[in-house]
Chain A
Amino acid sequence: SAVISQKPSRDICQRGTSLTIQCQVDSQVTMMFWYRQQPGQSLTLIATANQGSEATYESGFVIDKFPISRPNLTFSTLTVSNMSPEDSSIYLCSVYGPPSYNEQFFGPGTRLTVL
Chain B
Amino acid sequence: TQLLEQSPQFLSIQEGENLTVYCNSSSVFSSLQWYRQEPGEGPVLLVTVVTGGEVKKLKRLTFQFGDARKDSSLHITAAQPGDTGLYLCAGVSGGGADGLTFGKGTHLIIQP
Contacts and interface: CB of A to CB of B under 8 A. Distances in A.
Interface of A: 1, 4, 30-31, 33, 35, 41-45, 48, 58-59, 92, 94, 96, 100, 102-109, 111
A103 B47 CA distance: 9
Interface of B: 1, 6, 31, 33, 35, 40-45, 48, 50, 88, 90, 92, 96-105
Contact of B40 (A35, A44, A111): A111
A31 B1 CA distance: 21
B99 A105 contact: no
11 contacts: A41-B104, A42-B103, A42-B104, A43-B43, A43-B88, A44-B102, A102-B31, A103-B45, A106-B43, A109-B42, A111-B40
B18 to A, nearest CB: 24
A1 B31 contact: no
Nearest to A92: B42
A113 B45 CA distance: 26
Contacts of A108: 40-42
Contact of A107 (B42, B45, B88): B42
Given A31-B97, A48-B98, A104-B33, A1 B45 contact: yes
A93 B104 CA distance: 18
A106 B42 CA distance: 6
Given A43-B88, A48-B98, 11 more contacts: A1-B45, A4-B42, A33-B99, A45-B100, A92-B42, A102-B48, A102-B50, A102-B92, A102-B96, A109-B41, A109-B42
B48 A103 contact: yes
B102 A105 contact: no
Name, among A30, A43, A105, A106, the residue most crowded by chain B CB atoms within 10 Å (CB to CB).
Answer: A43
A94 B97 CA distance: 12
- From A35, A48, A94, A106, residue with most partner B Cβ within 10 Å: A106
A106 B90 CA distance: 13
